[in-house]
Amino acid sequence: MKKGINIKHIGAMLCLAMLTQACTKLDKNVYSNATENNFPKTPAQVTAVVASAYNAMTSIGNDGNTFVLNEVTTDEMVVPTRGNDWYDGGKWQSYWTHNIKVDDNTVNGAWGDISSGITKCNFVLNLLASQSGVSPATIAEVKVLRAYYFLKFIDMFGSVPLVTDYNTDPSKVKQATRADVYAFIESELTTNAPLLSTKGQSKDASTYGHLNQWGAYMILAKLYMNAQVYTGTPQWAKAAAAADKVIQSGQYSLQPIMLDNFAVVNDGSVENIFVVPFDNTYIKGFSIEMNTLNYVNNLTFGLTGQPYNGWCTPTAFFRSFTDQDARKKMWLIGQQYSSTGQPLVDVKTNLSVVLSPYVLQLSNPADTFRYAGARSIKYYPQAGTAGDMSNDGVIFRLSDAYLMKAEAEIRAGAPGDALTLVNAIRTRSGVPVWSASDLTLPNLLAERGREFAWEGWRRNDLIRFEVADGVKYYTGPRVPEKVQDAADNHTLILPIPSQQKISNPNLNQNPGY
């Protein structure tokens, strides 16, 4: 009896031992993702990974952090506090008055958006280096895209980390000077632009939403235009030459109606060179109409949700458009109507909804102040949606090449075809042509304002004009309630976000913050 039990006992122990031996494996099963071991394998999979290099564009080419900081800091957009709406800890006012805080979440967001583009490009380039049969054009395109991100990076933050290798030791990352990054961008663009496709989207649809050779030269033109800001040395001739390459490409022409470049369906534009495709269903994230339109404008445009009644344009900027200027149609002003033509009344206040051009305070609790400021419908609101517009975001278009070339020629002292180029733009929008004496730099800046209002370039333009001409276009006082910036002009560069400084103690804060 006793013996039998012992055998059972031993047997059970043996079984147990065998089981435990077999069951200590912690295999990991992944069901809904791909792992580094099995992906990417096919060319289509590689293409899908390469496409991710562009993902950051959906937060740069929309109404996101980068856009806000390049617009609300300028004379063409203001976000006043209406009652308590749009106070948000004072951040919108701080952009307008150039009192931007180092821990501002939009500043940190913009840093993150841009740097995520850079690191994705680094990741993709690292991956492509290990793949065989990758076309040089593919690699060149990612490098040109990365150069665009770096241009945005130095334009906003000054000296930034120049990280170009995915396998960089994070503890060694330090800032490079603006001039060093400038030199890197220039070299990347001049080396890689010629490898890219020369076809615009009308000739090769697959280039739509991608950087082709002409997109690369637009980046180069932008780099040279502000070379004096970045390095202290202007490069007007190089800028004019780069812009001219785009103009001479023959791939683009001016869209007869300027605002058609921003329509709900704008992928047929013959003028747009580089766009960020958006779609209400598939590529979400562009919601500029919600930020600007009045609460009841959903009834005007058939939107499915109420807009937020925020962003508007300052009075002086609105006044810079003459009535015959077709571009003035981008502004929504006066009595608002429903889609069936009924005048709109605010249910809460019982006031008629009459948008006023006057924005004379930065904050006002009066109910009437809810209607202050003209609103933009440049990107025309899409009926049946609320946010996530289908209008593709425009980064570069031909008219910018025209005006860049004209400005560079004037600044280089050889006006050449500058007047022709500017008048082509003016004629298109129905405003009188300029004579040679009208072709002054202040006029050109104003023309750029009207042409590129709310396209995200204003800060870049104002700073260039301020640095080149010594006029306080960017740092000067403005209505409402902005005073002259501090004499050290530190506001020409945004602060390094405090979050980034904590994450990387090697970073030095920009002077003056």
Partner 1 sequence: MQLKNLLKVSCLAIFCFFAVSVMAQNKVITGKVTDSHDGTSMPGVSVVAKGSTIGTNTGPDGSFKLSMPAGNNTLEVSFIGYAKQEVDITGKTNVHIALVGTATALSEVQIVSVGYGSQRRKDVTGAISSISAKDFNQGEATNPLLQLQGKVPGLVITNAGSDPTGTPTVRLRGQTSITGNQNPLVVLDGVLLDDPNQLRNIPPGDIASVDVLKDASAASIYGARGANGVLLVTTKKGREGGTSISYDGYAGVDKQSKYYDLLNRGQFLDAISKLPNVTVSTYDKGGNTDWQKAVTRTAYTNSHAVAISGGSKNFNYRGSVSYLNQQGVAINNDKNMLGLRFSAQQKALDNKLEINMGITYSRIKQNYNNINYDYVFNTPPTYPVYNADGSYYAYSLDYNGHNPVQHAALTLNNSYENLAILYATADYNIIPSLKIGVMGATNPDHTQNNKFNPAFPTEGNINNAKAESYDANSYKTNIHINYDKTFGKHSVSATGVYEYNDYFTNNFTAYGENYLVPENLNNNLQGGNPQKSAITSNKTEYKLISFLARVQYNYDSRFYATASIRRDGSNKFGANHEWGYFPAMDVAYRLKRDLLKDVEWIDDLKIRAGYGVTGNSDAIGPYSAIGLYGTGNTYYDPSDKTFPYKPSYQPSQNPNPDLKWEKRQGTNVGINFSLFNNRLSGDIDYYNDKTKDLLYLYHVPTPPFLYSTILANVGNLSNKGVDIGLTGQPIVGKDFNWTIGGNITFVKTRITKLSGTYNGFNLAVDQIPLGNALGRGLSSTPITYLKPGYAPFVFYLPHYTGVDANGNELFDGQTVDKYPGGIPPSHYIDPSPKFNYGITNTFNYGNWSFNFFLRGVYGQKAFNNTLLQFETVTRLPGNNTTRDALTNGVKSAPTASDRWLQGASYLRLDNAALGYTFNKIKGISSLRVYLATNNLFVITKYKGIDPEIANAISYTPDPSNVTPQNQSYIDNNPYPKTRSFVIGANFSLK
Phi-psi region of 95 (alpha: psi -120 to 50; beta: other; left: phi over 0): alpha
Q: By CB under 8 A, what part of segment 1-40 binds partner 1?
A: 5, 8-9, 12, 16, 19-20, 23-24, 26-36, 39-40
Which segment (44-52, 224-232, 423-431, 476-484) binds partner 1 by CB under 8 A? 44-52
CB 181 within 8 A of CB 150: yes
How would you class 431 by CB atoms within 10 Å of its CB: exposed for 0-12, middle for 13-18, buried for 19 or more?
buried
Cα separation, 61 vs 145, in Å, equals 13
Q: DSSP E strands: which ranges in 234-346?
A: 272-276, 331-332, 334-335
| Binding letters toward partner 1, positions 153-192, x by CB under 8 A | --------x-x-xx-xxxx-x-------------------
Cα separation, 294 vs 375, in Å, equals 8
Q: Is 277 in the site for partner 1 (CB under 8 A)?
A: yes
Chosen residue from 212, 423, 429, 500 binding partner 1 by CB under 8 A: 500
Nearer residue to partner 1 within complex by CB, 295 or 337:
295
Nearer residue to partner 1 within complex by CB, 256 or 384:
384
Q: DSSP E strands: which ranges in 417-457?
A: none
Q: Is 269 in the site for partner 1 (CB under 8 A)?
A: no
- Minimum Å gap between C-beta 182 and partner 1 is 17
Q: Is 487 in the site for partner 1 (CB under 8 A)?
A: no
| Binding letters toward partner 1, positions 444-483, x by CB under 8 A | ----------------------------------------
- Minimum Å gap between C-beta 28 and partner 1 is 5
Q: By CB under 8 A, what part of segment 120-139 binds partner 1?
A: 120, 122-123
Chosen residue from 135, 206, 253, 443 binding partner 1 by CB under 8 A: 206
Nearer residue to partner 1 within complex by CB, 31 or 436:
31
Q: By CB under 8 A, what part of segment 347-366 binds partner 1?
A: 347-350, 365
**What is the DSSP track for 465-512?**
HHHHH---TTTS-BTTTBPPPPTT-GGGSPPPPHHHHHH-TTPPPPTT
Cα separation, 119 vs 125, in Å, equals 10
Backbone Cα Rg of the chain: 27
Residue owning tokens 């058939």: 302
How would you class 113 by CB atoms within 10 Å of its CB: exposed for 0-12, middle for 13-18, buried for 19 or more?
buried
Q: DSSP E strands: which ranges in 250-293?
A: 272-276
Nearer residue to partner 1 within complex by CB, 349 or 427:
349
Nearer residue to partner 1 within complex by CB, 20 or 437:
20
CB 502 within 8 A of CB 149: no
Cα separation, 121 vs 146, in Å, equals 6
Q: Is 42 in the site for partner 1 (CB under 8 A)?
A: no
N- to C-terminal Cα separation, the chain: 88
Beta bridge partners of 376: 331
What is the chain's length? 513
- Minimum Å gap between C-beta 235 and partner 1 is 26
- Minimum Å gap between C-beta 127 and partner 1 is 10
Beta bridge partners of 333: none
Q: Is 204 in the site for partner 1 (CB under 8 A)?
A: yes
Binding residues with partner 1: total (CB under 8 A) = 103
- Minimum Å gap between C-beta 491 and partner 1 is 14
Report strand pairing: 81-82 vs 272-276: unpaired
Backbone phi, then psi, for 229, in 5-degree steps? -65, -40
- Minimum Å gap between C-beta 222 and partner 1 is 21
- Minimum Å gap between C-beta 246 and partner 1 is 21
Q: By CB under 8 A, what part of segment 377-436 binds partner 1?
A: 384, 386
- Minimum Å gap between C-beta 102 and partner 1 is 11
- Using alpha carbons, list the distances in angstroms from residue 38 to 35, 41, 500: 6, 7, 34
Which segment (218-226, 240-248, 346-354, 483-491) binds partner 1 by CB under 8 A? 346-354
- Minimum Å gap between C-beta 162 and partner 1 is 9
Q: Is 282 in the site for partner 1 (CB under 8 A)?
A: yes
| Binding letters toward partner 1, positions 60-99, x by CB under 8 A | ---------------------x-xxxxxxxxx-xx----x
Q: By CB under 8 A, what part of segment 299-318 binds partner 1?
A: 299, 302-306, 308-309
Which segment (224-232, 238-246, 281-289, 480-488) binds partner 1 by CB under 8 A? 281-289
- Minimum Å gap between C-beta 339 and partner 1 is 9
Report strand pairing: 354-355 vs 334-335: antiparallel
